[in-house]
Amino acid sequence: MIDKKREKPHALCVMESLSIRGALSSKERLYYSHLVKGYEGEYFFDVLVEKTLKEYILLCDLVFKVNGTIFQIDSLVVTNNKLYVYEVKNYEGEYQMNQSSLIRCAVGTEVLNPLIQLQRSTILFKQLLAQMNIKTPLESYIVYINQNFTLYQAGPHPQIILYSQLSTHFKSITESSKPLNEGCLSMSKLITSKNIGDSPYQDLPDYGYKTLKKGIYCPECFTFFNQLKGRMCICSKCGYRETAYANVHRHVMEFNKMLPDIRPSTKTIFDWCNGMHSMYRIRSVLRNEQTIE
């Protein structure tokens, strides 16, 4: 079961909105596509865990602070006898692994070897577990989730799992774990209680209210709506449907995420939606959200 679901990270939400409402530079577009790819890989991993494992608790996207140092865990699987930490990478193509880096063969670009990041987070997580008096053994892995990923290296590494090795790995967990008990549930709750939420160190471009394009858009294909059909919003490109109320709600949520320092008044949201919704409708959504004075 999943006890802490994965949510779209704050940085990804903001970059997505900026890509729709603003002009991203080519460097920022690349960063945005990295975030999308990373999120898709992690999400796919969650799906595989859910489909394959039996007696487990999955905790997604945890950020902890231990002794003043912040670190992140993509996925933590809790079983009756072990904890499994996973750092999920959605790299695609052929890579050569060195001690400190991975080199993309086609272009020669280098990224930090994820094993270094994994070792750091494992050490910090063990310290956190010790503080909570949790003595359950821990294993940690890098998962290369993309089927089109090839890694050239000296030989198999005990902490690296390629997509083709995942089913064997999950099978060995299933065979070695027993049914969950109360202790597993309370341990998961205790671990989750230490989660501090989104990492404060996020690299986002500068932007402001004035420079963002106003309007309402489809959450599936990001096309701007240019008319409403009664109380429904129907995307002219992909056919996505939602009620006008849900549409206002979604764009208020987006506004709050993008511009947390500006109060979402009826007038501001009217302007944010480019006049596509009536002031009456916006007021009623905001009242229900209790974000209006």
Beta carbon of residue 241, minimum distance to Zn ion (angstroms, whole number): 10
Q: Is 159 helix (H, G, I), strand (E, B) or coil?
A: coil
Beta carbon of residue 248, minimum distance to Zn ion (angstroms, whole number): 17
Beta carbon of residue 235, minimum distance to Zn ion (angstroms, whole number): 3
Beta carbon of residue 240, minimum distance to Zn ion (angstroms, whole number): 4
Task: Among 23, 70, 221, 262, indicate the residue that binds Zn ion (CB under 5 A).
Answer: 221
Q: How far apart are CA 249 and CA 211, in angstroms?
A: 22
Q: Where in 75-114 is the site for Zn ion (CB under 5 A)?
A: none
Q: Does 220 bind Zn ion (CB under 5 A)?
A: yes
Q: Between residues 111 and 238, which has the closer beta carbon with respect to Zn ion?
A: 238
Binding mask 13-42 for Zn ion (x = CB under 5 A): ------------------------------
Using the contact rule CB under 5 A, the part of the chain among 73-81, 218-226, 245-253, 256-264 near Zn ion is 218-226
Angle at 105 between CA 102 and CA 106, to 5 degrees: 135
Q: Between residues 170 and 225, which has the closer beta carbon with respect to Zn ion?
A: 225
Q: Does 253 bind Zn ion (CB under 5 A)?
A: no
Q: Does 238 bind Zn ion (CB under 5 A)?
A: yes
Q: Does 115 bind Zn ion (CB under 5 A)?
A: no
Q: How far apart are CA 3 and CA 189, in angstroms?
A: 8
Q: Does 241 bind Zn ion (CB under 5 A)?
A: no
Q: Does 232 bind Zn ion (CB under 5 A)?
A: no
Angle at 232 between CA 226 and CA 236, to 5 degrees: 40
Q: How far apart are CA 228 and CA 244, in angstroms?
A: 8
Burial class, 85, CB count within 10 angstroms (exposed 0-12 / middle 13-18 / buried 19+):
buried
Structure tokens at 2: 């999943």
Q: Does 233 bind Zn ion (CB under 5 A)?
A: no
Q: Are 28 and 86 in contact (CB under 8 A)?
A: no
Q: How far apart are CA 88 and CA 8, in angstroms?
A: 15
